[in-house]
Amino acid sequence: MADTTSTSTGANCLEKLKSYVKTQKGLILAGEIFLSFIVIICYGASHSGGYSSLAICEMIFAIVFFVIFMMELDKQLLVVNWVWSDLFRAGIGAVLYLIVSLINVIGGAGDGSRIAGGVFGLLAGLLFAYDTYTIYLQVKSTRQHTAASTDDRV
């Protein structure tokens, strides 16, 4: 007979998802994924759909980090410094989103979906910049200041 007291892995994963989205970092990553998806749709509908590659890459990176932090794999895979990797991901994403979005908002005359993609891209760039700022504060608070050694025996 099957053991009905144990929980399935799918239910466990769903519970982890629900609890992680309620955290600040989970909400930020979910917002990055959602805004990147909206930007993909807008750029895909415009006449110049080549700008959607940035949104696709940033959405995939955000999904990867969302899954890693949600499943707490960052505590198991200690080969990579996940906080610094996330800082570089968010910082580069913020800069690239702001640049590409400004290009599309300024040069998108007559193409409404390109302008909408640029506006949502600016919002995504600001969200990525806020994520970078929160990660920077986390790095700054966890950095420990150690006193220099005063031992004369070297």
* Domains in the chain: boundaries: 24-141
Euclidean distance between CA atoms 146 and 152, whole angstroms: 18
pLDDT at 1: 46
CB 83 within 8 A of CB 138: yes
The pLDDT confidence band at residue 129, using thresholds 50, 70 and 90, is very high
Rounded to two decimals, what is the model's pTM? 0.84
Between residues 142 and 27, the one the model is more confident about: 27
Give the chain's mean pLDDT: 88
Which residue's structure tokens are 């580069």?
Answer: 92
pLDDT at 149: 59
Euclidean distance between CA atoms 84 and 58, whole angstroms: 16
| 3-state SS assignment for residue 71 | coil
Which residue's structure tokens are 């025996």?
Answer: 153
pLDDT digits (tens, 9 = 90+) for 45-104: 988 778 899 999 999 999 999 999 999 998 998 899 999 999 999 999 999 999 999 999
Tally: H helices and E strands in the chain: 5, 0
| 3-state SS assignment for residue 35 | helix
Euclidean distance between CA atoms 134 and 4, whole angstroms: 42
The pLDDT confidence band at residue 9, using thresholds 50, 70 and 90, is confident
pLDDT at 12: 85
